[in-house]
Each structure stands twice: as C-alpha cells, then as structure tokens.
A and B are shown apart, each in its own frame.
Chain A
Amino acid sequence: MHSFVYRLNGLLTFSVTILAIMCAITSLSDNLHTPSPSAEIQVMNINWFQKQPQGNDEVSLTMNISADLQTLFTWNTKQLFIFVAAEYETPKNSLNQVSLWDAIIPSKEHAKFWIHTSNKYRFVDQGNNLRGKEFNLTLHWHVMPKTGKMFADKIVLTGYSFPEEYR
C-alpha cells in the first residue's frame, strides 16, 4: 500500500488467488449434479469375420448407436469424449476391451444423436476365440470440465454374440 506498484501487485496476486478458489468451488459444484443418460446400440450387420494370417480373429461390424447424453452437460463442461468398447472373456484374458468407435461431443445440442457406422478401429482378438463368443458393448463417456475434476462413467449393454463360423 505504499506505492502505486505495490498496490497493483497486491491487487493482482489477491485477485488471482481468489480466482483459483472460485475455480475449485466451480469444480466442486459438479458433484451436486445428477445426470441421467441413456443409450442403445444395435449391431446391424457383421460385415466380415476372418482369421488373419498371423492367427488372430478379426471382425468388422456395422452399428447403429443412439444416445441421449444431454443431462451430462453442466455449466462447467467443455466437451464430452465418448467411446464404444466391446468387452468379452477369453481363456487367456479374463477381460478384453476393444475400442471400436469414439467421438467428441462439443455441446449440449449435439449430445442427443444417432449414428450408423462401421467400427472406426479394427476389432482384432488376441488369438482366435471369437467364434460363437458372447460380448458386451459398453458406451463410456468422459465429462471434460472447463476447470477441475473430470468424471467418467459408462453404460453396459449385454446380449451380443459373434457368429459360429467365419464369413
């Protein structure tokens, strides 16, 4: 308080400290929010299902993904990162998770959607265990905040299975 520069420095440091506290409280306010998302995935078609030369199974499928994730958005949400993963069990691994498709949802308006797509990333098994195998499709989402903690959650959809034979 003894000179212009002293007061300016005090003001700037105090205001930035208070800004940090405001951001922390903003992030904490996200905990008060209870979202209610919904999603559905239909496997329209198994395009092909082959064994690679190396011996690993590979499958290509077309999915119809529809979801309403609008309630996940808060005032502190920058964007939503979602991905679809196939989960199944093999004798070698108790849990296999293969990411098939992902997207970034930049705003609440885009969060209610449906998309008809083939898998963005290749679905290759560690081995040749996929014939007749049952698997789950899970839709994961990461709520990326403007400031603070990121929340992640998922919906598990069961009841999918591979064909018995290669095609």
Chain B
Amino acid sequence: MDWQGQKLAEQIMQILLLAFAVVSFVAGYVLGSFQMMMLVYAGGVTLIALITVPNWPFYNRHPLNWLDPSEAEKHPRPQVAVSSKKKATKK
C-alpha cells in the first residue's frame, strides 16, 4: 500500500466498525435478540477485515516514485577515501 492507501484503509476500518456497531445494536434491541446483535456484529467485523486488511490494488493508486536506476547512476555515491598509513620508521 502507499501512504494514501494506508490512510484510506484506516478511515474505512474505523467508520465501518462504528457503523456496524450501531446497526447491530439497533437490530438486536428492536428484535429483542442478543444473539442477533452478536451475529450481525461478527459478520460486520469479518466483512471489514476482508475490505481493509489485504493489500487491494485500489489502495495503491498514488504509488511512490522511487528514483530510476539510470538517474541514480548520474549521481554516484561519494567514495570514502581510504589511505593506508605506513608505520613511522624508527629514526
């Protein structure tokens, strides 16, 4: 994923989780069934996991532009000078 994709995935996850929490609570309360609330919520969590966790292509629409290798060759890395020092001879 690229940076924009990561932000998008995080936003989708948070908003959908809160939305599913509200929907499942209302469904359970209206139907008078605690089990229904749990089932709807569990289904929601699974669905959100499928949408936001894997690395889908639509999260990669603003890919990072790494420098081309040919461009990099024009600006070579500076070499660190290695000078071999001879031991000072005894006078």
Instruction: Point out residues on A near B: beta carbons under 8 Å.
Output: 1-2, 4, 7-8, 10-11, 14-15, 18-19, 21-22, 25-26, 29, 74-76, 146-147
Residues of B within 8 A of A29 (CB): 29
Asked if A22 and B41 make an inter-chain contact with CB atoms under 8 angstroms apart, the answer reads: yes
The verdict on B39 contacting chain A, using a C-beta distance below 8 Å, is no
Q: Residue B21 contacts which of A10, A22, A75, A147 (CB distance < 8 angstroms)?
A: A22
Q: How large is the interface on B (under 10, 10 to 19, 20 to 34, 35 or more residues)?
A: 20 to 34
What's the count of A-B pairs with C-beta under 8 Å? 57
Chain B, 1-38, CB within 8 A of any chain A CB? 1, 6-7, 9-10, 13-14, 17-18, 21, 24-25, 28-29, 31-34, 37
The verdict on B78 contacting chain A, using a C-beta distance below 8 Å, is no
Asked if A25 and B25 make an inter-chain contact with CB atoms under 8 angstroms apart, the answer reads: yes
Asked if B9 and A7 make an inter-chain contact with CB atoms under 8 angstroms apart, the answer reads: yes
Residues of B within 8 A of A14 (CB): 13-14, 17
Residues of A within 8 A of B6 (CB): 1-2
Give the secondary structure class of A's interface.
Answer: helix
Residues of B within 8 A of A2 (CB): 6
Asked if A1 and B21 make an inter-chain contact with CB atoms under 8 angstroms apart, the answer reads: no
Residues of A within 8 A of B29 (CB): 29, 75
Assembly CA distance A2 to B45 (angstroms): 20
The verdict on B55 contacting chain A, using a C-beta distance below 8 Å, is yes
A-B contact pairs, 5 of them (CB 8 A): A1-B1, A7-B9, A8-B49, A15-B48, A18-B21
Q: A29-B29, A75-B34 are in contact. Are A7 and B21 (CB under 8 A)?
A: no
Residues of A within 8 A of B33 (CB): 75
Assembly CA distance A19 to B53 (angstroms): 19
Residues of B within 8 A of A76 (CB): 34
Contact code string B66-90 (vs A, CB < 8 Å = 1, else 0): 0000000000000000000000000
Asked if B34 and A26 make an inter-chain contact with CB atoms under 8 angstroms apart, the answer reads: yes
Residues of A within 8 A of B49 (CB): 8, 11
Residues of B within 8 A of A4 (CB): 53-55
Residues of A within 8 A of B37 (CB): 22, 26
Assembly CA distance A4 to B54 (angstroms): 6
Q: Which of B10, B14, B34, B55 has the most CB of A within 10 A?
A: B34
